[in-house]
């Protein structure tokens, strides 16, 4: 059995600082590379990413979530087409879970997304959670920063699954779209359990199936029941759509835009931005603290042994490691 092989030359590593002006100039490959470096958590890339954050703040960030098989990819491909046709530079960050066993992942759905789109106007990036609890990693946010700095808007963040990821998307996006396939009984239970409250817009896919209208009606009824609306002044929208036949896509684009306008006009944008900032700062605190102790420092090992041997307890050990200045408010 013969394997053909050719010696490949090592590549020249380009410092991240050099990539910053290219990202700001909209270079696709520079944007892609900065996201790679955010994921790799190279120390060298941190100042560049901070720099890019300060250049951002213009993009409208839309979270799109829902159960697997609900048609998210087909919907996103239709949205890309519409946004590009309307002259936007649109980006998608599609987040999928890493395998807990191997750490590997099968990512995204490039089969449908942006197949016909002009790659200079539509940027699609598939990202794995890489073990981050709750789905959205620091790198996901940083990817959005990079795309924002490069002038992409809207930026769509797609997360799969039910539960944690979907709830977390509220703290990453300006507008949250929950996509559900049509169905009765169990499907609605799933919506009820996880995501009723987080949606600014509910979209029901596969509008051509007979159950779609009933599902939409059921969701509307549930929204009416839970009328202690968590989002001030915005009437949650419920739409049915069929991405394969383009039905309802324009209405969804309109609803997303209406929500963006609402956020600005109602003054709700600022608290949302702050909520996003809060999530991110907390997640960085978490990251920095973990990094400080993950490396198996001597102090850490000593505390671990003490806790394991019941000579100390987890809380006391954590407080000792962090030092009094970091813990006094909690004690």
Partner 1 sequence: MTTQNNSAPAGTTSSAPQRIRVLVAKLGLDGHDRGAKVVARILRDAGMEVIYSGLYKTPAQVVDAAIQEDVDVIGVSLLSGSHGPLFGALCQQLRDKGAGHVLVVAGGVIPEQDYAGLLESGVNAIVPQEARSELIVTTIRDMVAARGPI
Partner 2 sequence: MTIYAKHALEGLQAEQAEWEREELAATLKARAEEKAEYRTECGIPLKRVYTAADVAHIPLEDIGFPGRYPFTRGPYPTMYRGRPWTIRQVAGFGNPESTNQRYKYMIETGQTGLSTDFDLPTLLGLDSDDPMAFGEVGRVGVSIDSIDDMDRLFEGIDLEKISVSLTINPSAWVIYAMFVAVAERRGYDFTRLTGTLQADPLKEYVAQKEWIYPVRPAVRLLRDLIIHCTNTTPKMNPISLSGYHLSDVGGNAIQEIAFIMAFTIAYCEEVTGAGIDIDDFAPRLSFFFISHQDFFEQICKFRAARRVYARIMAQRFGAKKPESMRLRVHVQTAAMSLTKIEHTNNLMRTAIQALGAVLGGCQSMHTNGLDEAFAIPTEEAMKLAIRTQQIIRDEINVTSVVDPLGGSYFVESLTSEMERQIWEVLEEVDRLGGAVKLVEDGWFQQKLADSAYSTFKLFDTGEKISVGVNSNVDASSSSAEVEIHPYDENCTNLQCLRLKELRATRDTGLVQSLLAELQDQARNEDVNLLPKTIELVKARATLGEICGALRDVWGNYDEPNII
Is residue 1 near partner 2 by the rule CB under 8 A?
yes
Q: Using the rule CB under 8 A, is 234 a contact of partner 1?
A: no
Distance CA 27, CA 4 (A): 34
Q: If 0-12 CB within 10 Å is exposed, 13-18 middle and 19+ buried, where does residue 91 land? A: buried
Q: What minimum distance in Å lies between the beta carbon of 75 and partner 2?
A: 12
Place of tokens 């960050």: 93
Which residues within the stretch 273-302 sit at the binding site for partner 1 (CB under 8 A)?
A: 291, 294-295
Cβ atoms of 198 and 236 within 8 Å: the answer is: no
Chain centroid to CA 158: 6
100 binds partner 1 (CB under 8 A): no
Please report whether residue 17 would count as binding partner 2 according to CB under 8 A: no
Taking the C-alpha atoms of residue 233 and residue 204, their distance in angstroms, rounded to an integer, is 23
Pick the piece of the chain touching partner 1 (CB under 8 A) from 25-33, 54-62, 154-162, 298-306.
25-33
List 85, 86, 106, 275, residue binding partner 1 (CB under 8 A): 106
Q: How many angstroms separate the CA atoms of 204 and 222, rounded? A: 14
Please identify, using beta-carbon distances, which residue of 83 and 212 lies nearer to partner 1: 83
Distance in angstroms (rounded) separating the CA atoms of residues 82 and 103: 35
The answer to whether residues 222 and 192 touch, using CB atoms and an 8 Å cutoff, is yes
Task: Determine if 242 is a binding residue for partner 2 (CB under 8 A).
Answer: no
Q: How far is the CB of 137 from partner 1 (least distance, A)?
A: 10
Instruction: Restricting to residues 37-76, name those near partner 2 by CB under 8 A.
Output: 69, 73-74
- Contacts of residue 168, defined as CB under 8 A and 6 or more positions apart, other chains included, come to 134, 135, 136, 159, 279
Q: Is 244 in the site for partner 2 (CB under 8 A)?
A: yes
Contact 139, 31 (CB under 8 A): no
Task: Report the distance separating Cα 176 and Cα 169, nearest Å.
Answer: 7
**Closest distance between partner 1 and the C-beta of residue 88, in Å?**
17
How far is it, in rounded angstroms, from Cα 197 to Cα 15? 44
Applying CB under 8 A, the span of 41-49, 215-223, 247-255, 297-305 interacting with partner 1 comes to 41-49
**Which residue from 23, 45, 49, 90 is in contact with partner 1, where contact means CB under 8 A?**
45
- Looking at beta carbons only, is 73 or 180 nearer to partner 1? 73
User: Which residues of the shown chain bind partner 1 in the complex (CB under 8 A)?
Assistant: 1-11, 13, 15, 28-29, 32-33, 35-36, 39-45, 98-99, 101-108, 110-112, 115, 119, 123-126, 128, 130-131, 291, 294-295
User: Which residues of the shown chain bind partner 2 in the complex (CB under 8 A)?
Assistant: 1-2, 69, 73-74, 77, 106, 109, 111-112, 115, 244
């Amino acid at each position: 059995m013969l394997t053909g092989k050719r010696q490949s030359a090592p590549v020249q590593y380009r410092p991240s600082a050099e990539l910053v002006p290219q990202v700001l100039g909209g270079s696709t490959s520079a944007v892609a590379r900065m996201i790679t470096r955010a994921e790799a958590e190279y120390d060298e890339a941190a100042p560049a990413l901070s720099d890019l954050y300060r250049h951002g703040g213009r993009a409208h960030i839309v979270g799109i979530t829902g159960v697997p098989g609900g048609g998210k990819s087909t919907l996103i491909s239709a949205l890309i087409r519409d946004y590009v046709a309307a002259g936007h530079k649109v980006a998608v960050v599609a987040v999928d879970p890493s395998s807990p066993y191997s750490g590997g992942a099968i990512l995204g759905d490039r089969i449908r997304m942006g197949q016909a789109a002009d790659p200079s106007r539509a940027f699609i990036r598939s990202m794995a959670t890489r073990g981050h609890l709750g789905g959205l990693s620091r790198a996901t946010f940083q990817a959005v920063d990079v795309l924002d700095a490069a002038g992409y808007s809207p930026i769509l963040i797609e997360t799969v699954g039910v539960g944690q990821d979907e709830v977390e998307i509220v703290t990453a996006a300006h507008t949250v779209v929950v996509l559900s396939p049509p169905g009765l009984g169990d499907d609605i239970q799933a919506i009820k359990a996880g995501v009723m409250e987080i949606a600014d817009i509910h979209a029901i896919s596969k509008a051509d199936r007979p159950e779609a209208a009933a599902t939409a009606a059921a969701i509307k009824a549930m929204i009416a029941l839970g009328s202690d609306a968590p989002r001030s002044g915005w009437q949650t929208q419920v739409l049915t759509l069929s991405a394969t036949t383009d039905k309802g896509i324009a209405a969804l684009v309109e609803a997303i835009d209406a929500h963006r306008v609402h956020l600005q006009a109602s003054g709700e944008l600022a608290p949302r931005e702050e909520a996003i900032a809060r999530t991110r700062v907390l997640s960085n605190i978490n990251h920095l603290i973990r990094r400080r102790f993950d490396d198996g420092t001597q102090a850490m090992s000593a505390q671990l042994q003490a806790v394991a041997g019941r000579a100390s307890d987890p809380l006391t050990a954590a407080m000792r490691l962090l030092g009094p200045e970091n813990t006094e408010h909690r004690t």
